[in-house]
Amino acid sequence: MFLFDTFQPGKLIGTRSLTLEPDLVERWLALFPGDRDGERMPPGMTAAVFSRAYSDILLPRPPGNVHGAQQFRIANLPSIGETLVTNLSCESKELKGDRRWVRFASETRRNDRTLLFSGVMTTLWAK
């Protein structure tokens, strides 16, 4: 189980690959039709790519974590059909009173290692 005490700032936690299948993009566009961007992934999907990597990599995790904030920097948007590789690491952690804050950093790249986007998510970690 991933616990606050086991996170090491600066350390890679894991990697996840995701192929940007047309069906996945169409499901996003059913919710957000204004996001259509031709043959490119809609910018808003950066959060979904991060969330899938986070959910798949950080298993098992204690119940009760709270998503505090997130931000992304987009360098390039991938084309539909490309495979995306997301690395997730612990950027930092901080104990404030009895609250355990963890900042997770991500980098998503093409298979050729070209940076697509990066992000940071701050989470109130349960244990």
Per residue in 19-36, is it b (16+ CB within 10 Å) or e — as a string?
ebeeebbeebeeeeeeee
60-90 tens-digit pLDDT: 999 999 999 999 999 999 999 999 999 999 9
- CATH number of domain containing 38: 3.10.129.10
- Residue 57 has what pLDDT? 97
Domain span including residue 45: 4-125
The domain total for the chain is 1
Report whether 37 contacts 103 (CB < 8 A): no
- Residue 127 has what pLDDT? 92
- Residue 38 has what pLDDT? 87
Partnered with residue 99 across adjacent β-strands are 96
**pTM of the full predicted structure?**
0.92
